[in-house]
Amino acid sequence: MELDIQQIMERLPHRYPMLLVDRVLEMVPGKSIVAIKNVTLNEPFFTGHFPHRAVMPGVMIIEALAQAAALFSFEGQDDVNPADQKTAYYLVGVDRARFRQPVVPGDQLRLEVVADRISRVMCKYSASASVDGQVVAEAKLMCAIRPLDEGA
């Protein structure tokens, strides 16, 4: 299953500048995803990271991987949707994160996430990001699903 940016925005609450998934190339609901983030010099974090050499912050790569994970984890489940404003999907843990080389403007970040465990309240994933076939970052991610209060 592929998704374009409009379909991604229907499924995620994030918007510019925090939406970090541009396209989904492959998705097996509840199992895995391969998505793309096109890295451009227009990203707001590049003005300060770093002025002399633009490098995508590792934390933003991890966030992109977590957003990709949210896209496939609940596909087809009407009662759990990160974009429905009734449910919050939080990144709550990052283990074994490794950053192998810098990601710079012009790179196309390939985001690959596989579910290790998905439940109604907690999800665990193995995630990696690559550029031109070279792994640039990898981590184990943990995300929590929480209902939002009506008054919140």
Tens digit of pLDDT for each residue in 1-35? 999 999 999 999 999 999 999 999 999 999 999 99
Residue among 44, 46, 21, 65 nearest 104 (CA): 46
Q: Is the pLDDT of residue 77 over 90?
A: no
By annotation, the residues acting in catalysis are 49
Look at the alpha carbons of 84, 9, 34, 133 in this order and tell me if their dihedral is positive or negative: negative
The DSSP string of 43-107 is -GGGGTS-TTS----HHHHHHHHHHHHHHHHTTT-TT--TTSSSEEEEEEEEEEEEE-S---TT-
Q: Which fold has domain 5-147?
A: Thiol Ester Dehydrase; Chain A (3.10.129)
Q: What is the pTM of this model?
A: 0.94
pLDDT tens-digit series, residues 106-124:
999 999 999 999 998 999 9
Residue type, 54: A
